[in-house]
Structure 1
Amino acid sequence: MATILTVDDSPSIRQMIKVVLGPAGHSVIEAGDGAEGLAKAGANAVDLIITDLNMPVMNGLEMIVKVRGLPACMGVPIIFLSTESDEGIKQKAKAAGATGWITKPFKPEQLLAVVSKLARA
């Protein structure tokens, strides 16, 4: 199955993602902010990245721009998982290189469906 990097400053959200995706056979790597997410994206072969927008150190938009500069991550789908639902922010995310958007709180089956559709593995 897929190796998924989840980047969120909320440990409970990262845990929830792991609880949903782990039993489906996916391997989940966790990062607590954009800088850590960027480092882990560069150090691991990932099939999909799920990131929050608002985080300390480096936000999700900044991280996506930098991740898209990593040769190994150029084609990796990136999903925003955020409480933000503003259309302007969604457009900025798309321009930065995001593949899609899921609004928190999310339904487990919704997350699984998106991961199944987008993960490269």
Structure 2
Amino acid sequence: MTASDSPGGWAGRLLAEGEDPDPRFSLANERTFLAWIRTALALIAGGIGLAVSGDLVADPLRTVLAVGCSATGALAALLAFRRWLTTERALRRAETLPPPALAPYMSYGLAALAVAALVTLLVTR
């Protein structure tokens, strides 16, 4: 694709950099992006499920857990596109791939939510 027939906006700027990578690498990058989006959707759905589950957890703790799940899902969705874009840019430039900035946030966020949920269930039951 030449610069004259590339789309405008962020996509045009991305395609104007470097050379087209092997399509398998771009498709693998896209599959990873979609996996992060599925994870984000699951977290948001879990937050909504916690918010409407009246009998499972007492109200103030239920709200905190629901907001925590939903916020972690929103963060995953926000950072997933950034991760896809920086990886695609590195592929086009034949550079070293960036480290996954999203992974520690997800790991620590989910661990904190799991501990909070476990403590809440043990205290309220």
Higher strand share: 1
Give the structure-1-normalised TM-score.
0.25
Higher helix share: 2
Structure scoring higher RCO (CA < 8 A, sep ≥ 6) equals 2
Q: Please say which structure displays the higher CA radius of gyration.
A: 2
Give the structure-2-normalised TM-score.
0.24
